[in-house]
Amino acid sequence: MKKMKTWKQRQNRSGYAFMMPWIIGFAVFTAFPFAATIFLSFTNVSSTILGYEISWAGLSNYITAFFKNVEFLPALGGYLRMAVPYTFVIVVVSFIIAYVLEHIGKLRGFFRTIYFLPVIIMSGPVMKKLLDTKVSDMQLLAGHTYSDIFIIQMIASYSRAAAGLITDVFQQLSTILWFTGIPIVLFINGLQKINPSLYEAAKMDSANGWQILWKITLPIVRPTALIITVFTIVQLGMFDINPVYSLIVTYMGNTSGGLGFAATYAWVYTLVVLLLMGVAFLIFGERKSKVKHY
Amino acid sequence: MKKHLTKKKVSEKTMRILFYLLLICVSFVFLEPIFRIISKTFMTPEDVIDPGVNWVPRKLSLNNLKVAIKVLNLKTTLVNSILFSGALAVGETICAAITGFALSRYEFAGKKFWYVMILLCFIVPTTVLMVPRLMMFVTVQEAVKYTLIGTPIPQLLMSIFGQGVNSTILILIFQNFFNLIPKSLDEAAMIDGAGPFRVFVHIGLRLSLTTVLVVFLFAFVWNWNETYVTGTLLRSGLQLLPSKLALFDSEFESAVSSTGSAFKLNEAYKMAATFISIAPLLLLYSFVQKKFIEGIENTGITGE
């Protein structure tokens, strides 16, 4: 006679039965490749008729990437110069839009539809075409650049790099805003979860809107902001506007020894991305030490 | 006291007007690229280089669209793109549904661990996975003597096994929706003798048809817009609309040189091609925009 299974055993069995396809896919297509990339980054890979020939190269890929190669570090720097200000602007702007949307009555759905639209049509080639036209439009309207604006020039006299970053952000404002589609929805969702009685209590204590925003709303949406920051970093990495990405693509196309390099680049790039996310955690994560206990 | 109240009301009203103004300005910035695509699509070559023409073309011309349709080989690429994205989306949806069901319904050992892994899958850049994935498929291809690279099979496999584009988000949408279905329904069905799979089909899926649709549409759109994995694994095995758009400039040049005519590539052609490649998505969005937004709201990744 078959033994009756306990509840726990049945839960385990059915749970894993349903999870199986994903777990297999994860092991084969994500976990293994991830580990393999780390390994391959220390090797030279050349593809021959008989398959791939992998030879140990030690740190030479890394040395080439950092010291000998002239394209990798600039590309990585370009990525950081793009990712850091863009992420900042996206998170701040999407919060402001979400906050404002929460405080108007009519047309909320209409505006939300507009702001979500880019999520549907955004793709590498489309973005690339848009950026290209933008550049040619700029050339057409030479003389009307943001760097001519007085405030920007004032900033430029202190620090040229900062002014460059700011003009860059303004020039690409449409492109940057296109990344806010999902963050806005997430922020609205976070804002709606705030208990209205908190606001009432604050109003009773004669707090004004500004104080409520800083003392109640912002601290409560901080976890949401963290998720959105991580999400934005992921999103920004996926498109052709990311310089590292096109570099890796070129190396992957290079069959004679390019794959090992591509793996090194991809791995270093991933470390940088994870580092950025770590910084996001530091900024938005729970700060236990700062909470005062009365 | 009364005066104070009216003063407050006035300031509230100006505030509201400012809010609307801000939203309208931001909307313009959002839509400006799309407006530009549309306006350039209908411009004549003279209008494109005329600094006096900014938004509204002097003369409407359908010539750009015609040329772009021809260069993009629209008939084939459109059908290919729809079938390709559709097939991948079906695979992703099925896997997301069963994975979401497992997470929502069962308390299996190591559930937390797998949940974190699902989230990590989203964070890890696809770039870091592509080199070994490519090598894996090439090796398997050599071993079984059956072409994989250049066919949709690798991506189909990845989608079915839950490693497609943004699979994590799709799983979360399903998990959150299944969480809303009372567990007592499952229990009732089990008492009537239904196994886990029947519970999943008859209770999980039956009640979540709209969620299935939303997830499918998201997967469709994301697969449509994905070019990196497709470019690495499918390459030019299938002519797809977005990848054709990426190659538009060179395709245009070669098409022109073969006919020997004096066409010159300009922004208008590029924008017409861009317009064509996003038009199907715009059409889709105009019908189901609410569902899309609700779908993201239902991921529940902001809560708890």
pLDDT per residue over B126-177, tens digit each?
A: 888 888 898 888 888 888 888 888 889 999 999 999 998 889 989 998 998 8
A187 vs chain B: nearest CA distance in angstroms? 8
More confident residue, B296 or A34: A34
| Beta bridge mates, A256 | A46
Task: Please indicate whether, in this complex, the C-beta atoms of A25 and B161 are within 8 angstroms of each other.
Answer: yes
**What DSSP element (H or E) covers B7?**
helix B2-41
pLDDT digits (tens, 9 = 90+) for B24-46: 988 888 888 888 888 888 888 77
Looking at residue A94, what is its pLDDT? 92
* Residue A3 pLDDT class (50, 70, 90 cuts): low
* Residue A259 pLDDT class (50, 70, 90 cuts): confident
Nearest-Å Rg of the Cα atoms of chain B is: 25
Identify the closest residue of chain A to B291 by CA–CA distance: A113
Which of A165-169, A218-222, B248-252 has the highest average model confidence (pLDDT)? A218-222
Looking at chain A, how many residues does it have?
A: 294
Nearest-by-Cβ selection for B129 from A37, A109, A133:
A37
Contacts of A62 (CB under 8 A, 6+ apart): A41, A264, A268
Q: What distances in angstroms separate CA A213 from CA A90, A202, A203, A221, A290, one per listed residue?
A: 19, 11, 12, 10, 19
The full set of domain ranges for chain A reads: 72-284
The residue of A117, A187, A192, A232 whose CB has the most chain B CBs within 10 angstroms, and thus the best one to mutate to test that interface, is: A117
* Range with lowest mean pLDDT among A123-127, A133-137, B69-73, B83-87: A133-137
Nearest-by-Cβ selection for A185 from B128, B131, B293:
B293
Nearest-by-Cβ selection for B106 from A15, A28, A141:
A15
Q: Which fold has domain A72-284?
A: MetI-like fold (1.10.3720)
* Residue A140 pLDDT class (50, 70, 90 cuts): low
Percent of chain A at pLDDT > 90 equals 14
From the list A90, A89, A94, the residue with the least C-alpha distance to A185 is A94
Average pLDDT taken over every residue of chain A:
82
Task: Please indicate whether, in this complex, the C-beta atoms of B26 and A177 are within 8 angstroms of each other.
Answer: yes
Task: Please indicate whether, in this complex, the C-beta atoms of B162 and A123 are within 8 angstroms of each other.
Answer: no
B31 vs chain A: nearest CA distance in angstroms? 8
Q: What distances in angstroms separate CA A158 from CA A84, A88, A163, A164, B301, one per listed residue?
A: 21, 22, 9, 12, 42
Average pLDDT over residues A64-75: 83
Looking at residue A160, what is its pLDDT? 76
Nearest-by-Cβ selection for A28 from B36, B161, B171:
B161
Looking at residue A294, what is its pLDDT? 46
Window 178-197 of B: residues touching A by CB (8 A cutoff) are 196
Residue A292 predicted with pLDDT over 60: no
Looking at residue A256, what is its pLDDT? 62
Task: Please indicate whether, in this complex, the C-beta atoms of A18 and B131 are within 8 angstroms of each other.
Answer: no
3-state secondary structure A110-140: HHHHHHHHHHHHCCHHHHHHHHHHHHHHHHH
ipTM score = 0.85
Contacts of A287 (CB under 8 A, 6+ apart): none
A78 vs chain B: nearest CA distance in angstroms? 17
Average pLDDT taken over every residue of chain B:
85
Task: Please indicate whether, in this complex, the C-beta atoms of A29 and B133 are within 8 angstroms of each other.
Answer: yes
Q: Other CB atoms closer than 10 Å to residue A234's CB: what's the count?
A: 18
A164 vs chain B: nearest CA distance in angstroms? 21
pLDDT digits (tens, 9 = 90+) for A83-114: 888 899 999 999 999 999 888 878 888 888 88
Give the burial class of A106: count Cβ atoms within 10 A of its Cβ; 0-12 exposed, 13-18 middle, 19 or more buried.
exposed
Looking at residue A293, what is its pLDDT? 46
* Residue A29 pLDDT class (50, 70, 90 cuts): very high
Nearest-by-Cβ selection for B163 from A29, A104, A120:
A29
Model-level pTM? 0.87
More confident residue, B77 or A158: B77
Contacts of A280 (CB under 8 A, 6+ apart): A87, A226, A229, A230, A233
Residue B215 predicted with pLDDT over 60: yes
* Cα A205-A207-A213 angle, rounded to 5 deg: 135
Q: Other CB atoms closer than 10 Å to residue B88's CB: what's the count?
A: 26
Nearest-by-Cβ selection for B114 from A19, A47, A273:
A19
Q: Do B64 and B42 contact (CB within 8 A), yes or no? A: yes
Looking at residue A255, what is its pLDDT? 61
Q: Do B123 and B277 contact (CB within 8 A), yes or no? A: no
Nearest-Å Rg of the Cα atoms of chain A is: 25
Looking at residue A176, what is its pLDDT? 83
* Range with lowest mean pLDDT among A55-69, A128-142, B91-105, B189-203: A128-142
Looking at residue A30, what is its pLDDT? 92
pLDDT digits (tens, 9 = 90+) for A182-192: 899 889 888 88
Residue B211 predicted with pLDDT over 70: yes
Looking at residue A173, what is its pLDDT? 79
Average pLDDT over residues B13-31: 87
Percent of chain A at pLDDT > 70 equals 87
* Residue A58 pLDDT class (50, 70, 90 cuts): confident
* Range with lowest mean pLDDT among A13-22, A108-117, A119-128, A234-243: A234-243
Q: Other CB atoms closer than 10 Å to residue B221's CB: what's the count?
A: 24
Q: Mutual orientation of helices B167-180 and B209-225 as an angle, nearest 10°?
A: 170
B38 vs chain A: nearest CA distance in angstroms? 12
The residue of B108, B222, B288 whose CB has the most chain A CBs within 10 angstroms, and thus the best one to mutate to test that interface, is: B108
Q: What distances in angstroms separate CA B180 from CA A271, B64, B175, B295, one per listed residue?
A: 38, 50, 9, 14
Looking at residue A239, what is its pLDDT? 66
Task: Please indicate whether, in this complex, the C-beta atoms of B127 and A237 are within 8 angstroms of each other.
Answer: yes
Window 75-94 of B: residues touching A by CB (8 A cutoff) are none
